[in-house]
Amino acid sequence: MAQLERKHRTQSLLQFGLALALLVIINVLANARLGDTPFYGALDLTEDKRFTLTDNTVEQLTDLEEPLFVRVLLTGELPADFQRLADKVEEALVDFAGHNDLLEYEFADPLAGTAEQRTERQKNLADEGIVPETVYASESAAERSATVVYPYAIFYYGGRTRIVPLLQAAPRGFGGVRRLNKAEALLEYNFSRAIEGLTNNNKPLIGFTIANGEIPAANTGDLVSALRKDYEIGPVVLDSFVSIPQDIKLLIIAKPTIPFEDFEVFKLDQYVMNGGKILWAIDNVGMDYDSLQGRNEFYPLPRELGIDNLLFKYGVKMTSVLGLDLTSTRIAINTGSSGGQPKIELTPFPYHVMAVPQGEHPIIKNLDPVDLRFPSVLETVNDDDPNVKKTLLLKSSPRSRRKRLPSPIDLDAQKYQLDIDRFDEDGLPFAYLLEGRFTSPYANRLSKANEQALREGGLAFRKESEPTRMVVIADGDILSNPIVKNETLTMGYNIWERFTYANKPFILNTIEYLLNPEGVISARGKDVKLRLLDREAALADSAQWQSINIIAPLVLLGLFGLVFNLIRRRKYARKQVTK
């Protein structure tokens, strides 16, 4: 009997040892790699695939050649919503690190330490453009608390640094929870974009056309400064080239006011025919807010820029019709006087359209409103052309209308109630993305001068383009940044409302997509759905659910005890009968 017990004990110990060894082996394999390929994997069962990285991001991570270190400043004693975002940041970094051991991260609290240390640390962060955000929360009807948070991550790679803001400024009426949800949806994109900027040594060349009355350099300073982090920037004078060099990967035409000559239009066309990309930001109506200074009424005129036929052939018609929208930004207007002083009020100005991007395209997905100034309406043509795909990027709200020229723009009229019944059009288009193979308008009318220019450059005429892309925006001021007291402000900053709209992210997204639609921009296509609790319904039904949560477990426990006792009695009753 003792020998049998020892045999059973030995077998039990052996089985335990084998099980333990199996667990150790599984754990080792789950963290092992063969080169850059991990032995482990994961299944993303979420509807929005929030835990699945895009192919471009995975490629970025596997191509890392040096250690990449990430310092996250969003930590410490955080409000609940911000703690949730911090947790999501850590989850994202764990996913990133799972593809390459060279990525490491830490959470560092800028507010830790003594008062002197905090002050010094905050000063150093402010010098780098990292400013805290104050979050207010109502703990009760009489108490309101304030918490300082730093929603930033800093990436370090190869002696370079890239600061990544985790939150963007929120427009009026945009809830804090939705803002944090948007930040969560853009985590992979923002991190991937930072890695791309740190690791990419081959910067594409972007050219800005000049000499046709484009926006002054001072007013594109903020855009150029942002682009220089990832691209080479240079001016392009069209009449100084026989043809536009294909080394220029993207051409930006920023609000020209002087007409293009035919030979310049021909160069633009052949640049497109050879696969060049163009960002057109065109004011087809000569109207600026400055035109109203010193007067209350102004008659804007159409601009003849010489590019109408070119864009028409590509699929878009530039009109001289202004788009007005009740969803608009505000300007300061003198509405009267009070105590002998002018009474200045912020008044909605329907000519300044607040376009709210709606759609699934990566350029505009999860994008905040864009501030447009006197935009004209675009129309598409040749819609049956299977070679060109047209995607609407920016449009007006359902309460819009058209204003045809000639007709005056009157500031005095803004003091009175607008006739909202006239704003009965929906979705006036202001920006289009065109993709595909374009046909040259010079295919059947090549002049001898243009033909001679091609021969001198050793080039061949092309009447159909390689697959390429362009974006047409019916507002040139979208690229402009305001200048106040010789200070260059952020692109998209509204000096009246003191708020920065999403003009800059929209243009940066557009440029990224035009240059590489399968690259970093693809991460913007991810959709993290916001599943909010209906607070009113939860509050109304709170007593019911509290009762269920208290009573239901007790009822289930009682039923389990009753059934268990019945089964136990039957079992032992059978045994007694058998005996």
User: What's the pLDDT tens digit per position in 118-129?
Assistant: 889 889 999 988
245 contacts 459 by C-beta, under 8 angstroms: no
Least confident of 83-87, 236-240, 366-370, 532-536: 532-536
The bridge status of strand 277-281 relative to strand 468-473 is parallel
| 106 pLDDT above the threshold of 90 | yes
Q: What is the pLDDT of residue 77?
A: 86
pLDDT on residue 302: 92
Q: What percent of the chain stands above pLDDT 90?
A: 48
Secondary structure (DSSP) of 191-250: HHHHHHHHH---PPEEEEEESSS---GGGGHHHHHHHTTTSEEEEEEGGG-SS--TTEEE
Amino acid at 457: G
pLDDT tens track for 369-399: 999 999 999 999 988 899 999 999 999 999 9
* Least-confidence region, from 71-85, 297-311, 338-352: 338-352
pLDDT at res. 179: 79
HEC letters along 336-348? EEECCEEEEEEEE
Mean of all residue pLDDT scores within the chain: 85
Confidence of residue 148 (pLDDT cuts 50, 70, 90): confident
pLDDT for 286: 87
Domains contained in the chain, CATH given: 33-197 (3.40.30), 202-525 (3.40.50)
Q: Is 327 left (phi over 0), alpha (psi -120 to 50) or beta?
A: beta
Q: Is the pLDDT of residue 435 over 90?
A: yes
Distance CA 522, CA 514 (A): 12
Confidence of residue 154 (pLDDT cuts 50, 70, 90): very high
Residue 535 has pLDDT above 60, yes or no: no
Position 339, amino acid: G
Q: What pLDDT does 303 receive?
A: 92
| Residue (of 169, 92, 184) closest to 505 by Cα position | 169
User: Which SS3 state, helix, strand or coil, does residue 261 take?
Assistant: coil
Residue 385 CB neighbour total at 10 angstroms: 16
Mean pLDDT, rounded, for 334-351: 78
The Cα 250–Cα 273 span in angstroms is 13
Residue in 140, 132, 200, 199 with CA at minimum distance from that of residue 166: 132
From residue 423, alpha-carbon distances to 285, 397, 414, 427, 471 in Å are: 21, 10, 15, 11, 27
**C-alpha pair distances (Å), 190 with each of 28, 185, 521:** 32, 10, 10
pLDDT score of 51 more than 50: yes
Write down the pLDDT at residue 532.
Answer: 46
Place of tokens 């471009």: 56
pLDDT exceeds cutoff 80 at 30: no
Share of residues in the chain with pLDDT > 70 (%):
84
pLDDT for 522 equals 82
pLDDT at site 533: 46
Q: Is the bond leading into 235 cis (omega within 30 degrees of zero)?
A: no
Nearest to 95 by CA among 65, 152, 64, 54: 54
Region for 76 from its dihedrals, namely left if φ exceeds 0, alpha if ψ lies in -120 to 50, beta otherwise: left
Band the pLDDT of 305: cuts 50, 70, 90.
very high
Decide if pLDDT at 142 tops 80. Answer: no
Identify the H or E element spanning 119: helix 115-127
Least confident of 156-165, 212-221, 340-349: 340-349
Q: Does the structure show a pLDDT above 60 at 464?
A: yes
How many other C-beta atoms can be found within 10 angstroms of the C-beta atom of residue 220?
22
Distance CA 172, CA 330 (A): 12
Mean pLDDT for the stretch of residues 558-576: 74
22-58 burial, b if ≥16 CB within 10 A, otherwise e?
A: eeeeeeeeeeeeeeeebeeeeeeeeeeebebbbebbb
Sign for the pseudo-dihedral over CA of 397, 403, 408, 413: negative
Confidence of residue 44 (pLDDT cuts 50, 70, 90): low
Q: Choose the most confident range, by mean pLDDT, from 152-156, 337-341, 519-523.
A: 152-156
Q: Which of 325-329, 406-410, 497-501, 572-576 has the lowest mean pLDDT?
A: 572-576
Q: What burial letters (b/e) apply to 276-304, b meaning 16+ CB within 10 Å? A: bbbbbbbbbbbbbbeebeeeeebebebbe
pLDDT at position 101 over 60: yes
What mean pLDDT is predicted for residues 265-272?
A: 95
Task: Identify the pLDDT of residue 345.
Answer: 81
pLDDT above 90: residue 67 = yes
Q: What is the pLDDT of residues 170-223, one digit of tens each?
A: 655 555 677 788 888 889 999 999 999 999 888 999 999 999 999 999 999 999
CA-CA distance, 401 to 350, in Å (whole number)? 9
Q: Which residues pair with 432 in a beta bridge?
A: 392, 472
Whether pLDDT at 534 is above 50:
no
Q: Is the pLDDT of residue 431 over 80?
A: yes
CA–CA separation, 42 vs 50, rounded Å?
13
